[in-house]
Chain A
Amino acid sequence: MGPRVSAKMNTPEEINELIARVALGDRDAFRRLYRATSAKLFGICLRILRDRGEAEDALQEVYVKIWQNAKSYATDRYSPMSWLIAIARNHAIDRIRAKRPAAADIDDAIDVSDGALDPEQAAVARSESHRIDNCLDELEEMRANAVRGAYLDGYSYLELAERHGVPLNTMRTWLRRSLIKLKECLER
């Protein structure tokens, strides 16, 4: 299997059309959607679940849900990648919360972020992330990091509190305030 991470990315319009076809029961479109998006969604599951076998099981469930929920995609009014990412993250987080409801084994976290993006990917990432990054920059660095850690690594409040060395309630208060500020910025 050749390198495909940096292969030509499908445009949002293409992904949108594929999901619309999947909603009509088009199995070929489903397969193409899988080929176009599974590496990204697998990366997301892997990062949150930190276990390859778990992430593989999760990815299966995610694509079953994508097939089943495709009909509601049009009415959900999500942009295509946001919709797919939401399904993957929701499932991965449901899975990890159900598995270790009070877990805090933070030390076994795998750093999967060391693979550097190539310049093209980085440029795309920069422009897409521009707005959320700017808004996160308005927060204190530690609080911004808590938001990123929750989104990318699936940390629970308990894990965030331990990582940042603050009581659970303090962490929740911090994060809630940060989210309110973030929303104000994002709506600007």
Chain B
Amino acid sequence: MSDERKTAGPDGVLAAEYVLGVLPHAERQAFAARLENDPVLQEEVRFWSEKLSPLASEVEPAEPPATVLGSVESRLFGSAAGKAGWWSSLAFWRGLAVASLAALVVVAVYAVNLPGTAPSKPAFVAEIAGESGAVTLIALYEPDTGLLKLNRTEGAPLTGRDFELWLIGGGDNPISLGVLPAANRTEITVPETMRGRFAGAVLAVSDEPEGGSPTGQPTGAVLATGAVAEI
């Protein structure tokens, strides 16, 4: 066809075939390799991509699963985002909850020792669990930020009841760290006055009326406890 050479040229048509996507795999790869360093081909491909893209308005948008963005970010941004990825993964923490506290310490050390954030103070971890395992939480306290991060891997309060978290140091009475929110994963800002009390302490979760203990001390059953380990 004479008009083929005149108007588009074989490469012009090939570029259109490439953009459409009709080429067999090997031919497609060969074209893509040429495209890398060929500005004329790149321009042809741009032309077709621009001109055909309005056709995509016929495609119905579809909401992707919420996990995709997290996966992309952890792949692109490495351990910092990766930490957020597994920190928020319930499956990960459930798996860990049945492992030993030693394993927990290893993981927590990794979580705290992020690149560029050399820890200046030791951090603390605890696995807060009941005897039956019906209520289990993983806790990580970062003294640098005063944040106590919690992942509840098992158990939820009954309707009209709340879980309340307590810090018990030495022979002192339990001090409330507050009612746990409904979300499995949460962060509590520890009050200044309590930040020095984690070493050697125990964390506990009790069953309380909605809104928390009316007395300032645990009133319901203590469902889970865990010794705080320094890392």
Q: B40: shortest Cβ distance to chain A, in Å?
A: 14
Instruction: Report the nearest B residue to A160, measured CB to CB.
Output: B22
CB pair A97 B25 closer than 8 Å: yes
User: B215 at interface (Cβ–Cβ under 8 A)?
Assistant: no
Closest to B42 in A: A76
Q: Is A164 an interface residue (CB 8 A)?
A: no
Of the candidates B13, B20, B59, the one whose C-beta lies within 8 Å of that of A40 is: B59
A183 to B7, CA, bound (A): 8
B194 / chain A contacts, CB cutoff of 8 Å: none
- A102, closest chain B residue (CB): B24
Interface members, chain B 5-53 (any A CB < 8 Å): 7-8, 12-13, 16-17, 19-26, 28, 42, 46-47, 49-53
Quick check: is A177 within 8 A (CB to CB) of the other chain?
A: yes
Query: Contacting chain A: which of B60-68, B130-138, B142-150, B171-179?
Result: B60-68
CB-CB nearest in chain B for A136: B55
Give the Cβ gap from A42 to chain B, nearest Cβ, in Å: 4
Chain A interface category by residue count: 35 or more
Q: In whole Å, how far is B18's beta carbon from the nearest beta carbon of chain A?
A: 9
CB of B49 within 8 A of CB of A125, answer no
- The residues of B that contact A67 with a CB separation of less than 8 Å are 72, 76
With A113-B60, A124-B57 as given contacts, are A186 and B22 in contact (CB-CB < 8 Å)?
Answer: no
Contacting pair A152 B21 (CB below 8 A): no
Give the contacts of A23-38 with B (CB-CB under 8 A).
Answer: 27, 30-31, 34, 38
Which listed residue (B24, B65, B76) contacts A56, Cβ 8 A?
Answer: B65
Cβ-based interface call for B192 (8 A): no
Residue A59 lies at the interface, judged by CB distance under 8 Å to chain B? yes
Contact between chains at A1 and B63 (CB < 8 Å) = yes
Q: How far is the CA of A27 from the CA of B185 in the complex (A)?
A: 23
Contacts of A154 in B (CB 8 A): 21
Interface size of B as a range: 35 or more
Query: Are the CB atoms of B64 and A97 closer together than 8 Å?
Result: no
Query: B24 contacts A148, CB within 8 Å?
Result: no
Whether the pair B49, A86 counts as a contact (CB closer than 8 A) is yes
Other 8 A-B pairs with CB < 8 A, given A38-B68, A182-B16: A83-B49, A85-B53, A86-B49, A89-B56, A156-B22, A156-B23, A177-B4, A183-B8
CA distance A111 to B106 in the complex (A): 49
Can you spell out 28 A-B residue pairs with CB atoms less than 8 angstroms apart? A5-B60, A34-B69, A39-B61, A39-B64, A40-B59, A42-B68, A43-B61, A59-B68, A60-B68, A63-B69, A64-B75, A67-B72, A67-B76, A82-B53, A83-B49, A97-B24, A101-B24, A102-B24, A128-B54, A129-B54, A129-B55, A131-B51, A151-B52, A154-B21, A155-B22, A176-B4, A177-B4, A180-B7
Contacts of A97 in B (CB 8 A): 21, 23-25, 28
Specify which of B19, B47, B62, B75 is in contact with A46 (CB 8 Å cutoff).
Answer: B62
Tell whether A180 pairs with B13 under 8 Å between CB atoms, given A5-B61, A38-B68, A115-B60: yes
Asked if B60 contacts A150 (CB within 8 A), the reply is: no
By a CB distance below 8 angstroms, the chain B residues around A156 are: 21-24
Interface contact B21-A101, CB-CB below 8 Å = no
- A179 contacts B8, CB within 8 Å? yes
CA–CA, A148 and B72, complex, Å: 30
> In the complex where A155-B22, A177-B1, A179-B13 touch, is A113 in contact with B50 (Cβ < 8 A)?
no
